[in-house]
Amino acid sequence: MVDDRGSDSASSLPTGARMWPSKRYAEMHQRSLQDPERFWAEEARKLDWYHTWHRVLDWDPPYARWFVGGRLNACYQCVDRHVQTWRKSKVAIYWEGETGETRVLSYSTLFRGSQPFRLDTAEAWDQERGSCCNLSFNGP
């Protein structure tokens, strides 16, 4: 949608929302097509890895394995690392329930709320603090 000032906008975005400049997006998209492995390696380096990968892509059609040998913690990436920075009080999730109930959750609120689950899970599986476990699920 284009507003009367000629800039990109969307009616569903909150007032003051920042949008990526389309030129920057197009440049990133072009780089990702020209050299996908290099592009995704650069993007992946922005994350905190327990073990860095030794190969970006292992491609044996129709199978692909990305970041072979790399290990990271998804919960740490999404919540924990932000609690240690200026973002701890920033909004992590705007939530709206089926009945219209709303909640605004900061990174620190999510972190505190996830602690009982983490501790219960570790105890239930007889895991020590800091040990690794793997949770799998069938996504949509």
The whole-chain average pLDDT of the chain stands at 78
Q: List all residues 6 or more positions away from 61 whose beta carbon is below 8 Å from its beta carbon.
A: none
Ramachandran sector of residue 69 (left: φ over 0; alpha: ψ -120 to 50; beta: rest): left
For the cut 80, the answer to whether the pLDDT of residue 81 exceeds it is yes
What's the pLDDT band for 126 if we cut at 50, 70, 90? low
Domain boundaries, the chain: 20-72, 73-140
Answer whether 67's CB lies under 8 Å from 42's CB. Answer: no
pLDDT of residue 14: 55
Mean pLDDT for 14-40 is 84
pLDDT of residue 137: 45
Q: pTM score, two decimals?
A: 0.60
Mean pLDDT for 1-20 is 51
Look-up of token digits 């970006």: 56
**Nearest 10 degrees: Cα torsion 122, 127, 133, 139:** -30
Could you read off the pLDDT of 33-57 as tens digits, one per residue?
999 999 999 999 999 898 999 999 9
Q: Of 136 and 106, which is predicted with more confidence?
A: 106
In 1-140, which residue ranges form alpha helices assigned H by DSSP? 22-34, 36-44, 74-75, 81-83, 107-124
Answer whether 70's CB lies under 8 Å from 51's CB. Answer: yes
pLDDT of residue 86: 92
b/e map of 3-39 (b: 16 or more CB within 10 Å)? eeeeeeeeeeeeeeeeeeeeeeeeeeeeeeeeeeeeb
How many residues in total does the chain contain? Answer: 140
For the cut 70, the answer to whether the pLDDT of residue 94 exceeds it is yes
pLDDT of residue 140: 35
pLDDT of residue 110: 86
Rounded CA separation 66/134 (Å): 18
Could you read off the pLDDT of 110-124 as tens digits, one per residue?
888 777 666 555 555
pLDDT of residue 90: 92
